[in-house]
Amino acid sequence: MLERTGPLLTVQDLQAWYGESHVLHGVSFEVREGEVVTLLGRNGAGKTTTLKSVMGIVTQRKGSVRFEGRELIGLSSDKIARAGIALCPEERGIFASLDVRENLMLPPQIRPGGLPLERIFELFPNLKERLGSSQGTKLSGGEQQMLAIARILRTGARMLLLDEPTEGLAPVIIQQIGRTIRSLKEQGFTILLVEQNFRFAATVADRYYVMEHGRIIDQFATSELDANLEKLHDYLGV
């Protein structure tokens, strides 16, 4: 197998619309294999739309989205999933009528390499305790987020798109989500993370892109954080 030298995901001049509303205006960035890259920005900056456009959920899009060198623009979201990308949405998508096991087992394994249940329960021991006894929406917010992430780890995806995984969660659960992301990175997963919580992002990310009004306006690495803190305060209002 040839060693990959270029980015795993390359987004160039990505434009996206909801109906007649033009939301993304030429977004360009890249994610290298094994990285955790965070999209930062205030509400309405276009971060979630970027994830959904990569995944093909936003269908009114143009530009270029290449994964492993393959162009994804024009492909449906199910074909993009089969290429090896999985989205964990902000709203989590837990089915109320299904218990934890049923929610966890619902997505098919679409590629080799999905995590076995034993490994998932090592990452999220709370889920093992709740496995057959709790309906999805009777879980706490933190347990629902764990279940939403666990579910996509079964699919065999190489790249995970995580949309605001810490929103509304208690600090102890946020710390657990951070440990999980770092563990997944150590296992070779590539992660594109959308976050408003910069303090959390700083504990897991290798690089950052800042979005505003549907555009990338800045980028920097973790090693450059201290030199960019003043700008970040302006960008994010933190």
> pLDDT for 133-181, tens place per residue?
667 667 888 888 999 999 999 899 999 999 999 998 999 999 999 999 9
In whole angstroms, what is the distance from residue 238 CA to residue 235 CA? 8
Are 28 and 209 spatial neighbours (Cβ–Cβ below 8 Å)? Answer: no
68 pLDDT tier (thresholds 50, 70, 90): very high
In whole angstroms, what is the distance from residue 42 CA to residue 197 CA? 10
Closest CA to 154 of 116, 188, 208: 116
In whole angstroms, what is the distance from residue 136 CA to residue 96 CA? 5
Q: What percent of the chain has pLDDT above 90?
A: 68
pTM for this structure?
0.92
How many CB atoms are closer than 10 A to CB 136? 22
187 has a pLDDT exceeding 70: yes
How many CB atoms are closer than 10 A to CB 183? 13
Q: What is the largest CA-CA distance in the chain?
A: 50
Higher per-residue pLDDT: 111 or 53: 53
Give me 108's structure tokens. 């098919």
Higher per-residue pLDDT: 237 or 120: 120
In whole angstroms, what is the distance from residue 70 CA to residue 68 CA? 6
**Residue at token pair 């977004």:** 27
Q: All domains of the chain, ordered by start, with CATH?
A: 9-236 (3.40.50.300)
Closest CA to 210 of 228, 186, 191: 228
Higher per-residue pLDDT: 141 or 28: 28
DSSP H or E segment with residue 1: none
Give me 24's structure tokens. 């993304």
Per DSSP bridges, beta strands 207-212 and 215-221 are: antiparallel
Residue range 19-35: mean pLDDT, rounded: 97
Are 91 and 168 spatial neighbours (Cβ–Cβ below 8 Å)? Answer: no
